[in-house]
Structure 1
Amino acid sequence: MRSSPDPEPRPRPVHGAPAGTGARAPEAPGDAQALRPRVLDVVGIPLALTNYDRTMDWMDAVVRERDKAVVTAAAVHLVMVARENAATRAAISQPHVLAVPDGQPLVWAQKALGHRSASRVYGPDLMAKYLERGTRTGTRHYLYGGRNQGALVQLVNELRRRYPGLQIVGGYSPPFRPLTEDEAAFVVDDVNRSGADVVWVGTGQPKQELWMAEMRDRLDAPILAGVGAAFDFHAGLVPQAPAWMQASGLEWAYRLMHEPRRLWRRYARYNPLFVGAFARQWVEHRRA
């Protein structure tokens, strides 16, 4: 936790008294396996054919059954890193992982492969919609990420203002380096003691996917959800692209304008690689 200028400050969680009634989600027919969305390989990476409601219904079923799963909002960047890096590819290709298409180009790719009903599941919106649903179902949430302790507290305050009755039962802002074993043990204990149903992870791709893969068996929370820059957006630290730019697949350009030094290499490398890789897949699909 980076809550002070000390080089190795003691980890300190963000806690708050749970709000709301604590009622659990009502039972519903079916189970997590039956509700799990189908997937389609896009440039060799399995991406869910789903929408917000189907994704959240599956998440509810996982929570209800106390199963263990991972959902990650996959951007083009993550998909292309996974093609190059075996650890990242393994992290998002496990049977318990559901990678939803966060980037509009990924949805266009699914449509081009014949799935006209393919829909975007944007990480920040998935988080917002599921938090809002949680005010009715009593789902308990833990936040892992944030630029620093102050940013995490700002996020917690903003979410509680926006969603009265929301149960945020803990949080942790990790340092910008791998956790020591003592720090990892602290996080595991803190999450498990909190009784969280969902751990939202906002540390950036693919770092968050590798962390979730490493920690999945150690954490009791049924859902680990990687949502990338959602923490910064919801805390009001970084502006989101206008809806028309998102729908046009130009969100990357908007983000590049606001964070050029951090993002230019990512977009300059991976966007052209994706276009080339998918063009080859589409040609093979048409021939078949």
Structure 2
Amino acid sequence: MLAIVPPQTHPDLSQPTMIDLGKRSVVGINVSAIDYEAAVAKIISAGQRRQSMSVTALAVHGVMTGVSDANHKYRLNQFDLVCPDGQPVRWALNHLHGCELPDRVYGPELTLRLCQAAAECNVPIFLFGATTEMLDQFADRLCEKYPGLVIAGRQASRFRTLTPDERDELAESINASGAGLCFVGLGCPRQEVFTYEMRDRLSMPLVAVGAAFAFHAGMLEQAPPWMQRNGLEWFFRLTREPGRLWKRYSTTNPAFATLAILQKLGLYSARTDTGTAPEDEVLFG
């Protein structure tokens, strides 16, 4: 069972050591130098207290969406927790800041660990995004894997922008469900926009987990573990969806590597306070 250590108590030294070194700039985006254990503990603790929290897990593409858009850079740098989803993001934290993280915090894996902890700690969850079919399959598989897990509610995306009234009704519905944790699966960067915009309206952590819904519903194939360990998941996905992804990976990967090298050499400031607060948000849901 996951042990959430309350403030001002001594941690159980028999538990795995948690790594949480705070946020570090990776090409101008504040990424949390954290491992799975610490991330799960922080999120579940906030869920138990019904405390608002904004969480995402970013690979290279997610980081670069913030680098290329001043509004989105501001959003990402207001998140409570930005996990290093991609191996190159973890490598950047280690090489730029000496963090010595042994592993990334992969969104789909984080999702499963959170669901296990939620089942053990009696924290009901809410699923938002994707299609009704995908949500149903995802929910069924989660309940099979974690029998004690309570899914307080689920709602598929409308795949369009929401009116202010619809946004408020959605927030009221999620809060009223009794959930202590909400997973958001809308794809990057829409899910981060949604999480940023809704964080003050929901009394629980919102966790943007991208393709985790599709992976765990059995509707999208994951890269083999050896490719994941070696930072080649992007290549696996490219071979599956070349028409959609070739431009993304041919531009964002080299740009990320170049900026990271320049940051290491001191030729790129990588400041995290230069974004622009968005106005009149159009919320996709």
- Contact 2:108–2:215 (Cα < 8 Å) also in 1: yes
**1:228 & 1:255 partners in 2: Cα distance?**
14
- Contact 1:158–1:235 (Cα < 8 Å) also in 2: yes
**2:113 & 2:142 partners in 1: Cα distance?**
12
Match of 2:219 in 1: 237
Match of 1:158 in 2: 141
Match of 2:257 in 1: 275
Match of 1:249 in 2: 231
**2:101 & 2:134 partners in 1: Cα distance?**
37
Match of 2:110 in 1: 126
Gap runs ≥5 in structure 1: 1-24
Cα offset, 1:261, TM superposition: 2.3
Give, as a single letter, the amino acid of the residue that structure 2 aligns with 1:89: K
Cα offset, 1:118, TM superposition: 5.2
Cα offset, 1:181, TM superposition: 2.8
- Contact 1:111–1:118 (Cα < 8 Å) also in 2: no
Match of 2:122 in 1: 138
Give, as a single letter, the amino acid of the residue that structure 2 aligns with 1:28: V
Q: TM-score if structure 2 supplies the norm length?
A: 0.84
**1:155 & 1:124 partners in 2: Cα distance?**
12
Residue 188 (str. 1) matches residue 165 (str. 2): no
Task: Provide the secondary structure at the position in 1 that maps to 2:5.
Answer: coil
Cα offset, 1:180, TM superposition: 2.4
Aligned pairs for 1:208-227 (under 5 A) are: 208-220=191-203, 222-227=204-209
Match of 1:68 in 2: 52
Cα offset, 1:268, TM superposition: 1.5
The count of aligned residue pairs is: 256
Aligned pairs for 1:43-58 (under 5 A) are: 43-58=27-42
Compared CA separation, residues 271 and 62, structure 1 to 2 (3 A): same
Cα offset, 1:193, TM superposition: 0.9
Per-residue Cα deviation, 1:176-201 (whole angstroms, up to 9, x for no partner): 22122333233112101101111100
Compared CA separation, residues 269 and 118, structure 1 to 2 (3 A): same
Cα offset, 1:72, TM superposition: 0.4
**1:100 aligned residue (62, 79, 83):** 83
- Contact 2:174–2:202 (Cα < 8 Å) also in 1: yes
Give, as a single letter, the amino acid of the residue that structure 2 aligns with 1:30: P
Give, as a single letter, the amino acid of the residue that structure 1 aligns with 2:7: G
Gap runs ≥5 in structure 2: 9-17, 268-285
**2:170 & 2:234 partners in 1: Cα distance?**
32
**2:162 & 2:248 partners in 1: Cα distance?**
25
- Contact 2:48–2:123 (Cα < 8 Å) also in 1: no
Match of 1:30 in 2: 7
**1:90 aligned residue (63, 74, 77):** 74
- Contact 1:76–1:103 (Cα < 8 Å) also in 2: yes
- Tell me which stretches of 4 or more aligned residues in structure 1 moved more than 3 Å: none
- Contact 2:4–2:41 (Cα < 8 Å) also in 1: no
**1:180 & 1:261 partners in 2: Cα distance?**
32
Match of 2:270 in 1: none
Give, as a single letter, the amino acid of the residue that structure 2 aligns with 1:180: T
Match of 2:277 in 1: none
For the aligned residue pairs, the C-alpha RMSD in angstroms reads 2.0
